[in-house]
Structure 1
Amino acid sequence: MKIVRELVDRKNSVVLVDHDPRILMDADQLIEIGLGAGKEGGRIVTQGTPLEAEKNPHSLIGPYLSGKESLKVRTRATEENMFENGSVKIKTKPFYTVKALDVSIPKGRMIAVTGVSGSGKTSLVIECLVPALQAVIRGSKLPEHVYSLEAKGIQSVKVIDSKPIGANVRSTVATYDGVFDDLRKLFARTPDAKAKGLKAGDFSYNTGKLRCPVCDGTGIISMDVQFLPDVDTICPSCGGSRYGKEAYDILWKSKEKDSVSVSLLDVLKLTVEEAADLLHEETKIAKQLKILQDLGVSYLTLGEATPALSGGEAQRLKLAYEMETPQQGSVFVFDEPTIGLHPQDVKKLILIFDHLIQLGATVIVIEHDLELVTNCDYIIDMGPWGGTEGGRVVVEGTPEAVAANPESITGRYLKQVLAEDR
């Protein structure tokens, strides 16, 4: 922010795309777009000073600027019962700029690994802990730089990152979530499908009879342009729907409303929220769509291609399968999951982490966002600085313990957040 102010003082205009209330409060002018995401967004909600945003009843960021809305949303474990579920203990050898480490991680808790950039957070978690856990689970040799690991009861380790979900044009929100399989079965049970002898497999746009014969179910065609890269364009036959004309004739009819009848193509054009409202009487499908709503991606359309999703959307979609299965013995690792998220989305993310913990998981986040960190049960603070001036554990413990440690850089800022929460 000091650099930004120097740019402004030199008569430059600086435009920041950001969600952090501390940065927004320092802005001369704030433009908020919303209200919601997808179809619910796309217009200016408020434009003016941060104080004007605070006073705007329609503003979603305003309550976070004024402090009326808090991100403290979960009850943390006490210091006394922190390790009652056991622990994962790792000892490492010196590597890169990281010193030899001896760390205990409480199981069944939400743990933040903090520290300034270059302090060794990623080295500890991604380069040591994750491959060591994978080795123990497989029964293979520990990584060269890991001295020992105790991980009794750990059966899986899952790194949930914000990398795009592949480049497969056939992958959509519905297929990735798994709800598409049940949608195909639903339409296969309709009288229209039975009259034509169609099965669930026929509704697949990858291999089914109903897929568009021109684009082969991809919704696009590639044009070979000589001396130039291929050009992708929407299929002129199906208009991007991926299906042939016969698919429009297979209709699902609501038992509650006689006037409501839709094709599978119509359903795939709906947002998650719209589909949940339409198909609420189909219990299994409604349950799967409810998970996507809880993950904060209710504005995505079911037929939306997953390679087009943002990093945050991809991250949350990857969690959809995990939300309703027992996670005893699972370790989830998130590398800076709050990047690009609005405070409301951060709040949803914290509740998702808490739900995973209730299912039996251990959740580890590499994080800088102080509000998320204060919701964690346990903190491992690396540093104190980066490079050769860091690489060791400065302090471990509750947020209060870190805030009380004079050597912790994170603690200095954490102390202010904890005071605001009180």
Structure 2
Amino acid sequence: MSMGEFWRIFQNEWIKLIRRRRFVVVLLLGLALISFYTYARYHEDQNQKHYNDPATQIQMTDSQIKRTQNQLDTDKNLTAEQKKLLQEQIIGMKQSKEQIGKESLQIPPTKADIEQKIEHIKSSIALLLPDQAAEKGQLQIQLVLAEYQLTHPPEIQRNSLSSWDAIQDFLGVGAQLFIPLLCVLLVADMVSGEQTGGTIKLLLTRPASRVKILFAKYMTAIIGAICIHIIILGVLAGGLLAVFGTHGATNPTVVGVKYEKVSVVKDDGRIGTELAANPTDAKVISMRSFTIQSILLTLLSTIGMCGLGFFCSVLVRSAAVSTGISIAVIIIGTIIINAMRGTTWLRYFLTPHFDLPNAWTGSLSRNFGYPMSLSQSLIITAVWVVGMYAIGHFIFKRRDVLA
């Protein structure tokens, strides 16, 4: 395949893609959603700030004290035991009021405090029994975090939502459902749309082979989806950083954790299983670094999302049917993943690996109850992508377009 010929075919497919109404609709849907999401998180943050403000909490506590004291002074039907209970409640609320004032100072831990915490965690790990693998795994993760904080002091959260956390929350849901749906809406009629519209016959009269035409369409679909999501995620990150600021950028995030099922003896003496974290390959990075790399991983996963939509587009002749099948696979796949957590064979499905950031942190491994890594998720995705394209290539090359 000469590059010049392929480039001309690609240019033609790209012009057709951006001229389609669906391209604009997908882009506007994405921008509308992140606008609603940003506003919702801003509204939530303002409510949280108001509720967590020390002045508001002290005012609420004062009101509770006054109501309780008024009941104690005016209710003549109270028994001696009830009066004693109300007096104890008043004392407890006054102590809580004093504690609120102390916590509002938010004094960060010193290096000595962190070192003391590290020694305490190490001592706790040493005291664990061999069958306490789950407890040991959690303590080892806490140890990794504490050691990171020795050289990277944690930032104090001033009762405000972190933009980095908001981006991660969006990616967690978006990579499983929203972004894949946008991908399939964009590409699920790349081939079937030509057949529905009757333009496939004209397209195949070109001197270029079917192999070149299909590959050009495939690359157009992937690059088009990546471009749209660069715009969407870029606007999301920019908007959230503008609204919430950059605080929390150096806070730690643990990646590379793997989970596996281990046998434990329960309190009633029976043998059971529970998930234990294996932090052997774990490392700690800043939230800023994790967020940037998560966005890049999400963009990478669009190749798998587009592969699914493109495969359905080649598989069936109807544009509506291919789009419907793609959407159904994504929605049903998401439901199955959430309903059948702990099922190890689900790791071979494609849809769980759309969320590559969760594969990196170990959340995907915990859901499967199997020690999976990011590299394994990438390999499974690559096998699916290559397999779907190979099958689609075989079907498209042998299909009778006149039928």
TM range (shorter): under 0.3
Q: Give the structure-2-normalised TM-score.
A: 0.21
TM-score of the pair, normalised by structure 1: 0.21
More helix by share: 2
Whichever of the two has the greater Rg, that structure is 2
Answer 1 or 2: which has greater strand percent.
1
